[in-house]
Amino acid sequence: MKNASVESIVARVLYELVRIPSPPGREKECALKFREYAVRFGLNSWIDSTNSVYATLPNAKRRASILLAGHIDTIEGFLEPRISGLAVHGRGAVDAKGPLVSMLLALYALKEERVECPVALAALSGEEGESAGARNLVSKGSVPPYIIIGEPTNLTNVVIGYRGSVKVHITCAGKGGHPSSPWIGDSALDRLLELVDALRRAFPGTSSKEVTFSITRLVAGESTRSLPARAECYVDFRVPLGMSARELVSRLLQEIGGLDRNCSMTFLSFEEPFYVKPQSLVPRSLVRGIIGLGMKPSLAIKAGTSDMNVLGPYAKSIAAYGPGDSRLAHSTCEEISVNEVLKAARVYLEAVRFLCKKAEEDIAVELPV
């Protein structure tokens, strides 16, 4: 790349990725485009069975002891992609194709320096769903000892912990009835709302240090001319550090399990909270990189979850970092500055240089194909 055109090249690469929709399960087209750019940058690249994309330094084996792990998928919902000055707008610009491009630039820089280090890049699939790409690494015993997770952390935050999650599907049944006389009818929606009120009383949390929950979808009734005979909702609980997902499930069953025999709960997924010590090698490497750019680093615990929850228990050290305003993630106004993407690339680069010196004796793992 020519220095005079780096910013425009980065904007174009990110735009091309953002303009291709890639919700969980439909990442293939975007994965192919990302692999195309990795190859153009002179890297060895392939796509595995989950549509995750991997890249390594030229002529390197498909092995790594250090992994830059972003994700190629985004949430559902189209946003018109565009380049405006030195900013890229569109779904996934922040979460998390911006960090992914930063990681690609860092690996390219390592290639240009002719670094001989078992480092790889992964654009994992399904992070916004069931973490298909990350779980594939775990199932194959392919989790490298040192991992940097690519997530938007506002450029100066190093994330050392994530809350866990429990996702629940609740259904309620009733006999329905005529809307003109609800007092003699039997509304499934009323039953469901009573249960939701009980949840609010049992879990009134308003901060990331407490159990919180959000209703992400609610459906009731088949007609505007009758009381609903069926109602359902999806509830997303978040589990704070210090509590396990299993503890929350047990408490849920105690609090609302016997409230209404016409309602039932199905547990859809569990993700345990995860935390790594600040003095661990990967957080230290990122802090050094941030300081090296003249910025002031800080450590953070995120309210949500990421592939760090999945991979963290199997890694020697892990942390999350990346460009982008995390408040814009999953919003209708996702945008990221190209300058932020470039700065984060330099932080990743410095962090990997540091890790390469410290990880010489660690065994590299075989990456999935």
Which residue in this structure is represented by tokens 């055109």? Answer: 5
How many other C-beta atoms can be found within 10 angstroms of the C-beta atom of residue 282? 27
Classify each residue of 94-105 as buried b or exposed e, where b means 16 or more C-beta atoms within 10 Å of its C-beta.
Answer: bbbbbbbbbbbb
Token pair recorded at residue 118: 């078992």
CA atoms lying within 13 Å on the CB side of residue 260:
23
Task: For residues 161 and 280, give the distance between their C-alpha atoms in angstroms, rounded to a whole number.
Answer: 12
Is 113 catalytic? The answer is no
Give the three-state DSSP class for 159. Answer: strand
Is 127 catalytic? The answer is yes
| Strand partners of residue 176 | 186
From the candidates 48, 127, 307, 340, which is the catalytic residue?
A: 127
CA distances from 151 to 47, 94, 235, 300, 332 (A): 21, 8, 24, 12, 18
The DSSP line for 98-156 is: HHHHHHHHHHHHHHHTT--S-EEEEEES-TTTT-HHHHHHHHTT---SEEEEE---TTT
Classify each residue of 239-267 as buried b or exposed e, where b means 16 or more C-beta atoms within 10 Å of its C-beta.
Answer: bbeebebeebbebbeeebeeeeeebebee
Task: For residues 56 and 310, give the distance between their C-alpha atoms in angstroms, rounded to a whole number.
Answer: 22
CA 157 to chain centre: 16
From the candidates 27, 73, 151, 271, which is the catalytic residue?
A: 73
Instruction: Give the active site residues.
Output: 73, 127
